[in-house]
């Protein structure tokens, strides 16, 4: 009886291992900058795999990470959204717009608002949303780092 149970358990484990796809994670992440506000960490990264380089905004909080990736072709739209939110300063938040991620299976959306801070939200149709409020005193540095990351991206 013990041998049968052991054999059955071994077979089930082998089936589980075979059913889980292998991750081909050959890429390299390079952190360009990191910011923290109200318990949310925002990173500006680049991700390189083979000859392809994309820029990535990543928001992290409470064990959840939301990402929004863009390349050289996407940069003009990201730049317009960012510039409009950056330039909208005031006591109340004003919605600027949104931009859907291109070339990924998850299709996250980047939302932007301007006001007392620059409010950026990454919405995943799978995992929900995370919002990052960039303090006004960090906007100039964030702008420079975002442009730095965008400048090394390749076209898709």
With beta carbons less than 8 A apart as the criterion, state whether 147 and 45 touch: no
Tell me which of 3.30.160, 3.30.1380, 2.40.50, 3.30.2450 is the CATH number of domain 24-151.
Answer: 3.30.2450
Nearest Cα neighbor of 86 from 106, 114, 58 is 114
Supply the pLDDT for residue 20: 31
Supply the pLDDT for residue 94: 98
Supply the pLDDT for residue 155: 87
Q: Specify the pTM.
A: 0.82
For the residues 136-152, what does the mean pLDDT come to? 97
Confidence of residue 25 (pLDDT cuts 50, 70, 90): low
Beta strand ranges found along the chain (DSSP E)? 28-37, 40-49, 52-61, 64-70, 94-100, 109-114, 117-124, 128-135
**Is pLDDT of 21 > 80?**
no
Nearest Cα neighbor of 32 from 64, 48, 55 is 55
For the residues 110-120, what does the mean pLDDT come to? 98
Q: What does the domain layout of the chain look like in residue ranges?
A: 24-151
With beta carbons less than 8 A apart as the criterion, state whether 52 and 154 touch: yes
Higher pLDDT, 28 or 26: 28
Count of alpha carbons within 13 angstroms of residue 148, beta-carbon side: 13
Q: What average pLDDT is seen over the chain?
A: 86
Q: CA–CA distance from 5 to each of 11, 17, 96, 113 (Å)?
A: 10, 18, 61, 59
Confidence of residue 103 (pLDDT cuts 50, 70, 90): confident
Q: Which residue has the tokens 């990173």?
A: 43
With beta carbons less than 8 A apart as the criterion, state whether 114 and 90 touch: yes
**Is pLDDT of 48 > 70?**
yes
């Amino acid at each position: 009886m013990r041998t049968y149970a052991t054999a059955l358990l071994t077979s089930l484990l082998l089936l589980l291992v075979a059913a889980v796809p292998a991750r081909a994670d050959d890429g390299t992440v390079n952190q360009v900058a990191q910011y923290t506000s109200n318990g949310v960490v925002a990173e500006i990264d680049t991700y390189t795999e083979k000859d392809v380089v994309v820029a990535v905004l990543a928001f992290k909080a409470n064990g959840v990470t939301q990402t929004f990736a863009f390349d050289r072709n996407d940069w003009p739209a990201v730049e317009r959204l960012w510039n409009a939110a950056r330039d909208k300063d005031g006591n109340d938040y004003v919605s600027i717009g949104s931009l859907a991620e291109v070339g990924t299976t998850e299709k996250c959306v980047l939302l932007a608002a301007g006001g007392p801070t620059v409010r950026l939200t990454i919405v995943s149709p799978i995992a929900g949303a995370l919002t990052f409020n960039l303090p006004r005193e960090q906007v100039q540095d964030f702008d420079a780092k975002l442009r730095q990351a965008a400048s090394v991206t390749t076209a898709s």
